[in-house]
A = this chain, B = another copy of it.
Amino acid sequence: MNIDGLGEFGLIERIRAGEGTLPRGIMGIGDDCAVLPQRKGYKTLVSTDLLMEGVHFLLEDIDPYSLGWKSAAVNLSDIAAMGGRPLGSFLAFALPKALDSKWMDDFFRGYRAVSGLCSAPLLGGDTTSSLDRLCICVTVLGECEDGHEILRSGARPGDRICVSGTLGDSAGGLKLILGGLPRAGAGERLIERHYRPVPRVAEGQRIAACGATAMMDISDGIGSDLRHITRASGVGAVVRVKDLPLSEELLSQSALYGWNARGLAIDGGEDYELLFTMPSDALRNLDIPYTEIGEIVPGEDILWEGASSQEHKGFRHF
């Protein structure tokens, strides 16, 4: 690997220098491993995601700042989905020859911008070359107090089903990108939601503290993701499709291009909002913006109340 004359060790040194001072007691880049202190009464959370050029992103379309942002964000979102506090991230990437140091600097600006929002320093990783395509693997570490991690398996009949933010924006943004449609105004906002999702870390901690029974982040679309919660919890669900939170931007672009906005909200992926269940009395104390969209019921089926067949085709990865 050689980026504008920087060899592997030069590049690592440059990345390390950009990281600044780490929290006390944490050792990051520079040895065989990163080292973090453990605390009695806490648990460590770990998640890892691989982003492949041509599968998860199109290098010719996404700008390096957004790609850096998204690479960190989709992983930090997994810590948020447990109700955890991020501790730091590990970034491994394989670089094709075509990328230069300007590209790398922009990538790291984006990576660090969202990592900074989440107080998650870069603690280590790996740099290597790739014969052709860019490949990025991010691992995040977080922690939460013992017993305060919110799994997918705790939903109980009677719990309310809620989401943070709005749904379908990211899928709308992707439609604009793939269709080569204009990116001004509302379209720009949807594309931003697709390229630079904000991990709901503070929200996840509030939701956990308030007494959520189950939580996950919405990466495939709630049409698919809610099923993970109902299966893991052994319950069914009723979702009121008319209550799904849709943004003004998605509604206006859907009207313009004839999209089914509710269909995008159900089956469109990559919102990275939080989907959670909570008893109604606990929900009264939740002081972040959220939308109640349905209720957990006995059984195993999910009823999409008021959905046309067109609106829920079931999202599949591949």
Contacts and interface: CB of A to CB of B under 8 A. Distances in A.
A181 interface: no
A98 interface: no
Given A1-B317, A82-B35, A318-B2, A135 B52 contact: yes
A188 to B, nearest CB: 28
Contacts of A50: 92-94, 126, 128, 135, 137
Interface in A276-295: none
Contacts of A90: 46, 48, 139
Interface string A149-161: 1011100000000
B48 A44 contact: no
Contacts of A18: none
B30 A45 contact: no
A39 B44 CA distance: 10
A61 interface: no
Contact of A48 (B37, B53, B92, B142): B92
Contacts of A99: none
Interface in A32-86: 32-50, 52-56, 78-79, 81-82, 84
A33 B46 contact: yes
A123 interface: yes
Interface in A125-150: 125-126, 128-133, 135, 137, 139, 141-143, 146, 149
What bracket does the count of chain A residues touching chain B fall in?
Answer: 35 or more
Given A90-B46, A135-B135, A146 B316 contact: no
How many copies the complex holds: the figure is: 2
A174 interface: no
A4 interface: no
Contacts of A137: 48, 50, 92, 126, 137
A39 B40 contact: yes
A47 to B, nearest CB: 4
Nearest to A146: B37
Contact of A130 (B40, B48, B55, B152): B55
With most chain B CB atoms within 10 A of its CB, the pick from A30, A38, A55 is A38
Contact of A55 (B7, B78, B128, B217): B128
15 contacts: A1-B317, A31-B151, A33-B47, A33-B79, A33-B84, A35-B44, A37-B146, A47-B124, A50-B93, A50-B94, A50-B135, A52-B128, A52-B129, A53-B131, A55-B128
